[in-house]
A = this chain, B = another copy of it.
Amino acid sequence: MADGKTKRAEHRAARVKLSDVAAASGVHYSTVSRVLRPGAKGRISDDVAERVRSVAKELGYHPNSIAASLRTQSTRSIGLIVHDMNDPVYPPILSGIEDALSPQGFAVLVSNTGYDLNVELDIVNRMAARLVDGIFLATTRLQDPVVERCQELGIPLVSVLRQTEQETSPAVVNDCYGGMRVMTEHVLASGFRDIAVILAPQYLSTARERWHGIKDTLDQAGVALPDHRIVAVPRMSVKEGKRATETLLTAGESRPDVIICVNDLVAIGAIRACREVGLSIPSDVSITGYNDIPLLDMINPALTTVRMQLHEIGKAAGQVMLAQFEGQPVTPMTQRVGCALLVRGSLGQKSESQPT
């Protein structure tokens, strides 16, 4: 019946620990501990070390990291909090983090908030109870109670993708302002002047930076962006992008020539909306995204977007975390990783129009 449980218990009971190795080696278990853990102070004679090591291997000794954690107050585990792993921006970040931390023996606890702040705070509390050594927060808001909570708890924190207004914790982000400037400049260079934008909530640094990148570029070029050409989505999803586009297409007396979307999923939604009403892209309306999630080059038309270095962002975040563990000063507080414009079919050219 409770076979698994029983076997588990058996195993547990049979599990070889330091004292077992010590007994079999004829030394005290503290000696075994020193031998097996490189970096333990106090040197050991070579013959003892060798004997202990071979006995340990023979017996199949594996340290119980829970016990070690209780003693050292370090679990060598870190949390990664994201809105939803199903958003394709997150898996590469996880990979990057693993690349940086796995070799150091860290494990990654992944939690999805489902976009719910209370869930998120709860997750932090639970991770704190588990004594995670640090937390990667991919949900960081410009004013963020979660960041504050982590600081109250004294948990080392590294924000990924986003940063707080006051840059209150180390963060590794994409240069969204620069990326969106380049994108917008390219849109202008392609001849477009009647531009619409789909923005995301401005409490996210990514969304705000991208918006400023657009706005500044347009302002400097003297291109107007009327209110009815601006829509904000509550969430960067396909569904919301579609809905926002429907709004855009029916607002004002004419439709815009191009829609600059805050990210790829929203842009996908925009494409869907256009298709549904029979608009062809890019001849009727051009569309741009941001992120370069997979398969974007396969859709019709291929989406013009900005390629973020998500894996690198994750990896850099991991390295910042390690530096923090070692007490190194974090500088700069916000590390920006570059990105690149990818021009593809979804952005056309406004050839027939002449500036007045």
Contact = CB atoms under 8 A, between A and B. Distances in A.
Interface of A: 1-5, 7-8, 10-12, 62-67, 69-70, 73, 75, 77, 84-86, 88, 90-92, 94-95, 98, 102, 105, 107-112, 125-131, 153-156, 268, 271-272, 294-295, 298-300, 324-325, 327, 329
Nearest to A92: B86
B109 A109 contact: yes
Contact of A268 (B11, B84, B107, B295): B295
Contact of A91 (B65, B85, B109, B131): B85
Given A131-B64, A324-B4, A95 B112 contact: yes
A193 to B, nearest CB: 28
A95 B91 contact: no
B130 A66 contact: yes
Given A62-B129, A125-B62, A268 B298 contact: yes
A34 to B, nearest CB: 19
Contacts of A4: 156, 324-325, 327
A305 B335 CA distance: 42
A297 B130 CA distance: 42
A300 B111 CA distance: 34
A293 to B, nearest CB: 8
8 contacts: A1-B329, A4-B324, A64-B131, A66-B75, A66-B130, A84-B95, A108-B111, A109-B110
A111 B125 contact: no
Contact of A107 (B102, B105, B109, B156): B109
A109 B108 contact: yes
Given A63-B129, A86-B91, 12 more contacts: A5-B325, A8-B154, A62-B129, A64-B131, A65-B130, A66-B69, A66-B70, A85-B85, A98-B112, A105-B126, A107-B126, A107-B127
A191 to B, nearest CB: 26
A111 B8 CA distance: 22
Contacts of A112: 94-95, 98
A2 B156 CA distance: 11
Contacts of A86: 91-92, 95, 294
Contacts of A62: 125, 128-129
A54 to B, nearest CB: 18
Contact of A11 (B126, B153, B294): B153
Contacts of A10: 154
Contacts of A155: 8
A255 to B, nearest CB: 21
A211 to B, nearest CB: 25
Nearest to A127: B107
A217 to B, nearest CB: 28
Nearest to A268: B298
Contacts of A324: 4
A29 to B, nearest CB: 16
Contacts of A90: 91
Given A85-B91, A94-B85, A327 B2 contact: yes
A66 B8 contact: no
Nearest to A330: B4
A14 B86 CA distance: 38
Given A62-B125, A131-B64, A327-B5, A110 B108 contact: yes
